Structure 1
Amino acid sequence: MEPKQLKKEVTGLTALTVVVGTVIGAGIFFKPTAVYSASGAPGLGLLAWFIGGIITIAGGLTVAEIGTIYPETGGMMIYLEKVYGRWLGFLVGWAQMIIYYPANFGALAIIFGTQVSSLFDLPDHVIAPIAIVTAMFVMAINFMGTKYSGRLQTAATLLKLIPIAVIIIAGLSYPGGGTIRLIPFSMESHPVATSLGSALVATLFAYDGWINVGALAGEMKNPGKMLPKVIVGGLSIVMSVYLMINVAYLFVLDSTQLAGTNTPAALVASHLFGEFGGKLVTIGILISVFGGMNGYIISGIRIPYVLATQKLLPFSNWFSKLTKGTNMPVNGGLVILAISIIMILTGQFNQLTDLIVFVIWTFTTLTFVAVIILRKTQPHIKRPYRVPFYPIIPLIAIIGGSYIIINTLIVQPQNALLGIVLTLSGIPVYLYCTKKNQKI
C-alpha cells in the first residue's frame, strides 16, 4: 500500500495570499519606529523601505528558479539538500522546525494578545493566555485541511488591506501634509552609510516570510508557472503597500514623531480619526497578525512531515502520519505548537524576532548561491523558469543576504550565537537517525 500524499489543493490565489498575508503582519505597524530611529530622516527611511523591497524581490526572482526545478513540498530544505547535501537540507529543516516557525508563530501570538489587551483595556497578565488560545485556534483551523486554512488566509489578507488602505487614503489627503514631511534626505548626526544599513535591517525583517510559499510547491497544480508569479506578484504588492503607507505616515507625522513611538500606525490613526482611529488600527493589527500566524503555520507544519518521510527525525512514523480525510500532518503541527507556547511564555517579542533573522538569512543566502551553483554544475537541467538578468539579480540577493548575516554577527552576537547553537543541536539527531536507517 502506497503512503498517502499531500493533495494538490493549493491554488494560485491561496499561494499569493500566503506571500502577501505572511509578509504583511506586524512589521507594517511596528517597524517604522526602528526604521526612522535608525535613519534619522524621512528620505533615508523611505530609501531603506525601497531598497529592502528590491533586495526581497531579487531574492524572490532568484529562489523561484530553484523552486521550479525542485517543486516539492519542503521548500528551502529541499533546495539545499539537492545542491549541498542531505545534511544541510536537514539542518535548515531542523532550524525551521524548532526556531523559525515556532518563534515567528509565538512572537505574532504575543503581539495579538497585546493588542487584544490594549483594545479592551485588560491587564497585562492576560496577554499570554490570549496568545496561547489564539495559537491553538489557528493551529486547529490548519488541522482541518488546506481548503479551510487557505480560505482563512485569503479572507484575512483581503480584510487586513482595508484599514491599511484607509490610512493610506486619509494620510495622503491630510491637511498640511505633503512633500515637506519627506525631506530632508539625511541628518548630519546620522551618517548615511551606517544609518541606512541599520534601517535596512529593520525593513528586511518586515519583508520576511515570502520564501515560505516554497514549502507548498508540492501541493500546487502547476508550480512551474505558478510559483514565480505568486512570489514576484506578492512581493510587488507588499512593496507598494509598504511605500505608500510610509508616505502616508510622513504626511501626518514627521520622522522624529514616528521614531518616538512604539505604535506609529495607531498614533497616525489617532491624528486622522481621533480615538476611534486608534481602535480601528488595533483591529487592523489583529486581523493582520492573525493572517500572519496562519500563513506561517500553513507552511510550517509541512516541515516536520518532510523530515519524517526521509526518516530524519526520531519517531518518524509518528511525524509522517497524515490524518484521515484531511490528509494533514497534525503531529508535526503539535510539536511546533508546543515549542511556540514555551516561547510565548517568555513574553519576549523582540528577542524572538531577532533570534530568527540570523538563522533564516544564513540559509536563504545559501539558497541564492545554490542557483548559481546549479547553473554551473547542471546547465542542462530542466528549468521551467529562469531568473532574468542573470547573474545580476542573484548577486543583488546574495549581497543583501550577506549584509544581514554580517550585521547580526556584529550588532547582536548573542542572538547569533544562540541561533547557531540551536541549529547545530540538530547534528546529533541527524547522525543518530542516519545511523539507525543504515541498520534497517
Structure 2
Amino acid sequence: MTRRENFSLIEQVGSPEIATPKQSLTLPDAVALIVGIVIGAGIFETPALVANYAGSDVAVLLFWLVGGAVSLVGALCYAELATTYPDVGGVYYYLKRAFGKGIAFLFAWARMTVIQTGSIALLAFVFGDYASQIWRLGTFSPSIYAAVAIALLTALNIVGLQQGKWTQNLLTAAKVLGLLLVVIIGLTATSDTTIPVESTTSGNWGLAMVFVLLSYGGWNEAAYIAAEIQNRRRNILRSLLLSIGIITAIYLLINWAYLRGLGVANMAQSEAVAADLMRSLWGAPGAFFVSLLIAICTLGATNATIFTGARTNYALGQDFALFGFMGHWRQRPSTPTYALLLQGAIALGLVILGTLTRKGFETMVDYTAPVFWFFFLLSGISLLVLRQREPQIQRAFRVPLYPFTPLLFCAVCAYLLYSSLVYTGVGAVLGVAVVAAGIPLFLWNQYRQRRA
C-alpha cells in the first residue's frame, strides 16, 4: 500500500495529524498563476519569427488566433481530466490511472529533472539577460541573476502558500499592465520611422505555428493546482477558459501593436521586436522600460512554474519509497517543502549547465522540448483511455465533440514532438538520456518494494 493510500484511510477515520493540500486558491489566484506561467519571455521572442514565416499582417494575427484556439482544445481535454481526477499530482495521476506506475514514474522523473526544472532555468536565464541590461554584475551576470531568482522564489514558496500566491498575483498584474502600455504605445505609432529591411520569408506556416504554440505553452499547469482550487468542479474549467481568453487577447493586441509600430517586414527582421518598437519611439528610456518589463514577466513565470512544479514531486514521494522524503506536506505554511528544495537544487544545477555551454536559453529549450511534447501527447491519450476504462466515474465536465476534440489535441502534440526532435540539437539528446535514466531507478524501486 502506498503512502497516498495510507493517507486516504487515515483521513476517513478523522486523524488530524496528516497534512494534506487545502482548497486555498480562489478563481483569481488560479487565473493569475496560469496567465503568469504562459506570458513569460515567449511573446517578446517569437513574434518576429512568426512574422517572418507568415509574410502579411493578416496572416500574423491569424496565426496567433489559431494558437489560442488550439490551446482551447487542449484546455477542454485538461478540464475533464482535472475535474474528474482533482489530484495534486496532476498529469502524473492521470498517467498512473491510464498506463500504470511505470509511465507515471517516468513522467514525474522527467518533470523533476527535465521539464519543470528546465523551464525554471530557461525563464531564469531570460530574466538574467534582461536584468543585466538594467544593472550588470560582471561576466556571469545573467547566470548570477538566474540563480538568485530561483533561490529567492523557492524560499518564498517554502515560507507558505499565501506568500507564494500573492507574489504571483502582483507579478501577473504588473506584467499585464506593462504589456497593455506597450499595446497603447504601439497602436498610437506609425511605421514611418522604422529601420529599412529586405523582405519576409513567407510560406512555412507549420514552423510558424511551432513558435506560436511555444508562446502559449504553460496553461496545462492548471492540472497541478486542481486539488487546491476552491469550488473546483466549476473553477477549474472557468480558470482555464478565462486564462486562455486573456492570453489570446493580449497576444493579439501586442502583435497588432508590433505591426502598427514597425510594419510586418521590420517586425520580421527584428532581433528584439519590443525593444525596437520602444526604442523607435522613446529612444534609450524606451529600451530600458522594455528590459524592466521583460524581467518582470519572466520573474512572474518563474515563480508560477516553481509553485506548480513541486506538486508532482510531492505526488511522486507519496507513491515511491525511493523519493519518500518529498511526500510530506507541511501543515502550517501548506507547502511541499522538501519537494520545493529538491526542485530548486536541480534548477540551480541546470543554471550551471547553461553557464558552461554559454547558451543558457537555447540549451534549456533543446533540453526540455522533446520530453515535454512526448508526455503532453500521452496526457491526451490518457483521456481516451480513461473514458473507455472508467465509464462509471461521474464527470462534472465532459469534453465536447468527443472523441474528435482529444484526437485533434493528440495530433497537434504529435506534430510538435516531431518538430522538436527535428529542430533541436545536442540538448535534446541529453534531456532524453536523463529521462531514460529513470527506467533503472523505477526497476530498483520495484525490487526494493518486493524485498520489503
Q: Same fold (TM over 0.5)?
A: yes
Shift of 1:23: 0.2
| Equivalence for 2:311 | 302
Deviations 1:306-357 (A, max 9, x none): 1011125x251x2223346213222221221112112212231022023222
1:108 to 2:123 alignment? yes
Deviations 1:72-110 (A, max 9, x none): 101111111111111111111111000111111111111
Shift of 1:276: 1.9
Shift of 1:229: 1.0
Matches within 5 A, 1:192-231: 192=203, 195-231=204-240
Given the alignment, which residue of 302, 311, 318 partners 2:320? 311
| Equivalence for 2:421 | 409
Q: 2:377 touches 2:410 (CA, 8 Å); kept in 1?
A: yes
Deviations 1:252-273 (A, max 9, x none): 1123322333321111112233
Matches within 5 A, 1:378-393: 378-393=390-405
Shift of 1:156: 0.8
Q: 1:217 touches 1:223 (CA, 8 Å); kept in 2?
A: yes
1:142 to 2:154 alignment? no
1:117 to 2:132 alignment? yes
Structure 1 residues 315 and 94, CA gap change in structure 2 (3 angstroms): closer
| Equivalence for 2:170 | 155
| Equivalence for 1:15 | 30
Provide the rounded CA distance (Å) in 1 between the counterparts of 2:368 and 2:178: 28
Provide the rounded CA distance (Å) in 1 between the counterparts of 2:190 and 2:212: 28
Shift of 1:58: 0.5
1:27 to 2:36 alignment? no
Shift of 1:218: 1.5
Provide the rounded CA distance (Å) in 2 between the counterparts of 1:13 and 1:438: 46
Given the alignment, which residue of 260, 263, 266 partners 2:275? 266
Q: What amino acid does structure 1 have at the position aligned with 2:445?
A: C
Q: 1:163 touches 1:280 (CA, 8 Å); kept in 2?
A: no
| Equivalence for 2:345 | 338
Shift of 1:413: 6.2
| Equivalence for 2:441 | 429
Q: Secondary structure at the match of 1:301?
A: helix
Deviations 1:204-263 (A, max 9, x none): 111111111211111223222111111121011111111110011010112332233332
| Equivalence for 1:182 | none
Q: 2:20 touches 2:331 (CA, 8 Å); kept in 1?
A: no
| Equivalence for 1:166 | 181
Q: 2:171 touches 2:299 (CA, 8 Å); kept in 1?
A: yes
Shift of 1:176: 5.5
Give the TM-score of the pair, scaled to structure 2. Answer: 0.89
Shift of 1:13: 1.3
Provide the rounded CA distance (Å) in 2 between the counterparts of 1:353 and 1:411: 11
Q: What amino acid does structure 2 have at the position aligned with 1:334?
A: L
Structure 1 residues 92 and 357, CA gap change in structure 2 (3 angstroms): same
Shift of 1:438: 2.5
Provide the rounded CA distance (Å) in 1 between the counterparts of 2:50 and 2:180: 21
Shift of 1:372: 2.1
1:363 to 2:375 alignment? yes
Deviations 1:251-300 (A, max 9, x none): 01123322333321111112233322211111111111111001101101
Matches within 5 A, 1:232-243: 232-243=241-252
Calculate percent identity across the aligned residue pairs. Answer: 29
Q: 1:205 touches 1:357 (CA, 8 Å); kept in 2?
A: no
Shift of 1:383: 0.3
Q: Secondary structure at the match of 2:140?
A: helix
1:286 to 2:295 alignment? yes
Q: Secondary structure at the match of 2:47?
A: helix
Shift of 1:305: 1.2
Q: Which deviates more, 268-277 or 300-309?
A: 268-277
Provide the rounded CA distance (Å) in 1 between the counterparts of 2:339 and 2:389: 35
Deviations 1:96-128 (A, max 9, x none): 000111111111111111111111355442221
CA RMSD of aligned residues (A): 2.0
Provide the rounded CA distance (Å) in 1 between the counterparts of 2:267 and 2:152: 34
Structure 1 residues 37 and 415, CA gap change in structure 2 (3 angstroms): farther
Unaligned runs of 5+ residues in structure 1 are: 178-185
Q: What amino acid does structure 2 have at the position aligned with 1:422?
A: V
Q: Which deviates more, 116-125 or 234-243?
A: 116-125
